[in-house]
A and B are shown apart, each in its own frame.
Chain A
Amino acid sequence: MAGAAGPGTGPGAAGGDGDDSLYPIAVLIDELRNEDVQLRLNSIKKLSTIALALGVERTRTELLPFLTDTIYDEDEVLLALAEQLGNFTGLVGGPDFAHCLLPPLESLATVEETVVRDKAVESLRQISQEHTSVALEAHFVPLVKRLASGDWFTSRTSACGLFSVCYPRASNAVKAEIRQHFRSLCSDDTPMVRRAAASKLGEFAKVLELDSVKSEIVPLFTNLASDEQDSVRLLAVEACVSIAQLLSQEDLEALVMPILRQAAEDKSWRVRYMVADKFSELQKAVGPKITQNDLIPAFQNLLKDCEAEVRAAAAHKVKELCENLPIEGRETIIMNQILPYIKELVSDTNQHVKSALASVIMGLSTILGKENTIEHLLPLFLAQLKDECPEVRLNIISNLDCVNEVIGIRQLSQSLLPAIVELAEDAKWRVRLAIIEYMPLLAGQLGVEFFDEKLNSLCMAWLVDHVYAIREAATNNLMKLVQKFGTEWAQNTIVPKVLVMANDPNYLHRMTTLFCINALSEACGQEITTKQMLPIVLKMAGDQVANVRFNVAKSLQKIGPILDTDALQEEVKPVLQKLGQDEDMDVKYFAQEAMSVVAQRLRKLDLPVKDSDEPSAPGADKNHFLRPRGPGEDAGKVSRDRAARVASEAAVEAAQLGVGTQPRSGPAYQLCVNPRETLAHLEIVGLVHFSQSRD
């Protein structure tokens, strides 16, 4: 049983006389009120186990009353409880008894923490479906009314989310009451409740009869949309979308549009922001005719709003808006009514506005077609490619594919190149990182010739960047380029340059060669790997820096599967064996690890690796420098204590978990710096391993 955790499996339970199964449950129940939050949480998560053991009767009469009073607990416990109770119907005796779950959820629906309340409401909604119609009116609806007329606004906000689930199944008399309650919450004194009501207005409207929507929801909507609180008015915009879907065009025009127009010109920028943010939804909800007459002019205003936040939100929606216009006449509308405003935004004073625009503007080219793109959009792209803000340029470059389909990238390449070069050499490494990510995409679109001519040198320069993250990204980039341009290209352009770095005086660059080989070997295939890369790797096994040597071992492990067995047997194995005898223990360690992998491939070979010496799984860390160590090894003065402590912690943990108490060789991690290497090469991501034997 899932509940058989914790001390339950300890020796204490062994003496039981046939009631073994009770013991774990007894522990779980006791831990419901343990001082440790984690244990309480654990018990709450196994509430179904407890309920199952108690049976439906005792769950209803004892467990649920206890849970109802447990609302003083930590949020995470309450959250878990609220979630559990949503799936509890079966455990209290099925739908006939679903109402027994209401009291604990009712008290959870009044706590101050929003996440807990929301979860309680979600569970209540779930349970409402399991009520019979009779039970719904007898138990659920009274609960909703109680919450709706509660003293504290937490309960009233929770009530707002429950109307829509009980309304459809209620009798007409009750329906009228429910509507009445909803009405009063919409004009509640506290803005919290009005906000909750406004956000559920659309949902409630959907379950109402159309007549009631017009006679009741629309007036409520009108009131909320002119609320004195900005935070209420902006939620009415959201409700607008749902309500608009329910009404006919005439009603829409008469009842909703005046309010939407008012919202788009609201004095508060937050309301206008909301209109901009929800523009696509609104556009779909009101249909093409109203869009053309009303929304387009409103959108123009939003694009030239005095508040930058609003302009940025609107700029984000430009492409979606254009896409959703009816195809007929779309081009004219965009050209005459949207494009002039976009042109203004390209030279906006706010960089967020410009970068929002840059992230979507390229998408317009597919909509407008080749000629318009060349004539009207291209100048804008070019202007943005020269923008002073790197984010704007990046956004343009990252969306090049849209333009490529329409006009081909050649049109842009003259301006593109300086922009790319500038970003590639940006002082901020995050900017450099971002442009590297787009290199494969650019390469695909610019073609191999252009790439070789202009961009190849950049890609190679990144390999010796002084930030590790850039070097790492550059290595991955090479792999993707090879996938794109093929092995022949790799052999001619990339591989020689990478291999030359194996002789670099800086050991970090020598290691970069190894990382590149790791990444490229698979894409390049067996022949290049065996003939060109392997010799270099093997040669580096004699490097004077231990870090390079153990990376050789790792590389051999990595490229092992690509090599044929002859090479493995005759070239790799001797080198690994030699490294296995290295004076540095880390080199030894990784050599042995590589050996065991190689050995699996060469099943015939007998390897001197015993089971007990086999390294534990976490050893295969891709980022190097962090090396697992068993407590049995000679781990040096400083790290020994730590390793021992970690090991004993692991033992304690193992004991707690009820697994064997024998301490496994738990990994301890060591981060050291080799004092013999120049400090200038040190950086956060490239901590150098401390070679103990040279000390």
Chain B
Amino acid sequence: MATLMATLQYIISTVEFNHSGELLATGDKGGRVVIFQQEQENKIQSHSRGEYNVYSTFQSHEPEFDYLKSLEIEEKINKIRWLPQKNAAQFLLSTNDKTIKLWKISERDKRPEGYNLKEEDGRYRDPTTVTTLRVPVFRPMDLMVEASPRRIFANAHTYHINSISINSDYETYLSADDLRINLWHLEITDRSFNIVDIKPANMEELTEVITAAEFHPNSCNTFVYSSSKGTIRLCDMRASALCDRHSKLFEEPEDPSNRSFFSEIISSISDVKFSHSGRYMMTRDYLSVKIWDLNMENRPVETYQVHEYLRSKLCSLYENDCIFDKFECCWNGSDSVVMTGSYNNFFRMFDRNTKRDITLEASRENNKPRTVLKPRKVCASGKRKKDEISVDSLDFNKKILHTAWHPKENIIAVATTNNLYIFQDKVN
């Protein structure tokens, strides 16, 4: 069953559920953040639990100009991360290339009424008629959702921020750019600590960059970062204040038979995500998804091919720059299924227990609300069966880079260029 959500004016650049799954935030290229809320009233009728409605929209970042470097700073939202809920309000961090902001999203359903010197409509009263004092009284009003910026964490990154991740201690978070990782306290904006710096003294010796970084979900001292060389480093913040030396290095030896000009490019890791349990982590490179056991560094425990049929097309993908696309990946709530995107508005799911995989398509033409998605198949070569799509007819402009999975239920959010689709389990 499928629900087409909304057509957004701009290209969606990130999608993220909050910790309860009740809210879903998207960020777009125009610097806006849109928050959707799961339908409340019909919660008893299970068929509509996948309904999400717009809850709040606000402009998180504006385009800026760095006068010292003569560079434009895009307003595009690179990442959104929700904070664990601390009171009735909700908080999230959003970041563009340079600046991280902490937003508070709160509800208000009362407003004060009653002035001494003027009427409610603003007309002034004759002061001589004021003979008694009136104290304003709060009265119920229509629900209003407000988003207000609470903190701005700026001026700490020379390069582009690619990741932010909140620590399980609830008071710190990290932000990673191409060469450095900084550690912040959520309440302190004028100071951050650099914990990783891979910038070589001479930039000509630069061989790799940081592509993603994430904190472990419950071990507050552990974080990982992935590199463009296909390695993942795990660091222990207990050992030292500076984590330039990793405590574990996850790397799979290269298969010599597959070696080509593109080997290094396609081995670059575009996303790394810990499982909810904290036992595993998943990495996405250009052609595959790998699951690593944190206790085994020399190879992944599982490898899933996302679109192996593209291996023969790498040359043209290099020419149209698609080979540099940064696909993200996500776990389902129980860590049993993983999901990631592909081209032609296809997205892939892999069941870790049954080893079954499925390709689905997010498109407006095929999907009316409440229809069941049909599995898709791409044929690599040779005879094309009925219902199969040939590799050559794939549309590489339609790519699904950002997906998110509800932390508790089987509800997923899939962002095509400027549409957000929300799918849920078929219910009878």
Contact = CB atoms under 8 A, between A and B. Distances in A.
Interface stretch (A12-20, A627-635, A659-667): A12-20
A474 to B, nearest CB: 33
Interface stretch (B106-114, B265-273, B286-294, B404-412): B106-114
B110 A26 contact: no
A677 to B, nearest CB: 30
A670 B146 CA distance: 44
Please report whether the interface of chain B is mostly helix, strand, loop or mixed according to DSSP: loop
Interface in A3-21: 12-13, 15-17, 19
A22 B130 contact: yes
A88 interface: no
A191 B240 contact: no
Contacts of B240: 269, 306-307
B133 A72 contact: no
A23 B135 contact: no
B116 to A, nearest CB: 4
A191 B137 contact: no
A229 B169 contact: yes
Interface stretch (A108-116, A315-323, A560-568): A108-116
Contacts of B110: 69
B220 A229 contact: yes
A594 B231 CA distance: 75
A152 B218 CA distance: 19
Contact of A16 (B86, B127, B146, B150): B127
Contacts of B206: none
A12 B130 CA distance: 12
Contact of B116 (A26, A152, A155, A192): A26
A153 B117 CA distance: 41
A105 to B, nearest CB: 15
B128 A17 contact: yes
B136 A191 contact: no
Interface stretch (A28-36, A252-260, A395-403): A28-36
Interface string B117-143: 110000000011011111111100000
B138 A13 contact: no
A54 B133 contact: yes
Given A23-B130, A26-B130, A154-B87, A231 B138 contact: no
Interface in B132-176: 132-138, 146, 150, 168-171
Nearest to B113: A33
A155 B87 CA distance: 8
B239 interface: yes
A528 interface: no
A266 B221 CA distance: 13
B112 A33 contact: yes
A85 to B, nearest CB: 16
Interface footprint category on A: 35 or more
Interface string A51-64: 00110001000110
Interface string B174-188: 000000000000010
B85 A29 contact: no
Please report whether the interface of chain A is mostly helix, strand, loop or mixed according to DSSP: helix
A195 B131 CA distance: 52
B398 interface: no
Contacts of A192: 86, 170-171
A231 B112 contact: no
B196 to A, nearest CB: 16
A120 to B, nearest CB: 13
Interface in B217-232: 218-221
Interface string A544-555: 000000000000
Contacts of B128: 15-17, 19
A453 interface: no
A306 B219 CA distance: 22
Interface in B228-249: 237-241
A191 B127 contact: no
Contacts of B221: 230, 268
Given A30-B116, A307-B240, A231 B86 contact: no
A23 B127 contact: yes
Contacts of A27: 116-117
A269 B239 contact: yes
A74 to B, nearest CB: 9
A65 B168 CA distance: 37
Contact of B168 (A15, A54, A66, A229): A229
Contacts of B187: 114
Given A16-B127, A267-B238, A69 B138 contact: yes
Contacts of A195: 171
B146 to A, nearest CB: 8
Contacts of B91: 112
Contacts of A266: 238
B170 A26 contact: no
Interface residues of B, number: 43
Contacts of B146: 72
B238 A29 contact: no
B54 to A, nearest CB: 22
B127 A269 contact: no
Interface in A598-650: none
Contacts of A33: 112, 136
A65 B137 CA distance: 8
A270 B220 CA distance: 12
A125 B234 CA distance: 45
B63 interface: no
A449 interface: no
B6 interface: no
A58 B112 CA distance: 17
A66 B112 contact: yes
A695 interface: no
A154 B83 CA distance: 13
B369 interface: no
A191 B88 contact: no
A692 interface: no
Interface string B90-113: 010000000000001010101010
B133 A53 contact: yes
Contacts of A70: 112
Contacts of A231: 169, 171, 220
B89 interface: yes
A63 B135 contact: yes
A25 interface: yes
A309 interface: yes
Contact of A32 (B131, B136, B171): B136
Contact of A66 (B88, B133, B135, B220): B135
A62 B130 contact: no
B135 A62 contact: yes
Given A29-B116, A308-B241, A191 B133 contact: no
Interface in A202-258: 228-231
A361 B209 CA distance: 44
A636 B169 CA distance: 61
Nearest to A307: B240
A190 interface: yes
Interface in B64-86: 84-86
B115 interface: yes
A278 B141 CA distance: 53
A110 B220 CA distance: 25
26 contacts: A15-B127, A22-B131, A26-B117, A26-B127, A26-B130, A26-B133, A27-B116, A27-B117, A30-B116, A32-B136, A53-B133, A66-B137, A112-B87, A152-B87, A152-B88, A153-B87, A155-B87, A190-B84, A191-B168, A191-B171, A191-B220, A228-B218, A230-B169, A230-B237, A269-B240, A269-B241
Given A29-B133, A191-B171, 11 more contacts: A29-B134, A33-B112, A53-B133, A65-B137, A112-B104, A114-B187, A152-B85, A190-B84, A228-B219, A231-B169, A307-B240
Interface of A: 12-13, 15-17, 19, 22-23, 25-27, 29-30, 32-33, 53-54, 58, 62-63, 65-66, 69-70, 72, 110-112, 114, 152-155, 190-192, 195, 228-231, 266-270, 306-309
The 4 closest A-B pairs by CB, nearest first: A26-B116, A268-B238, A62-B135, A152-B87
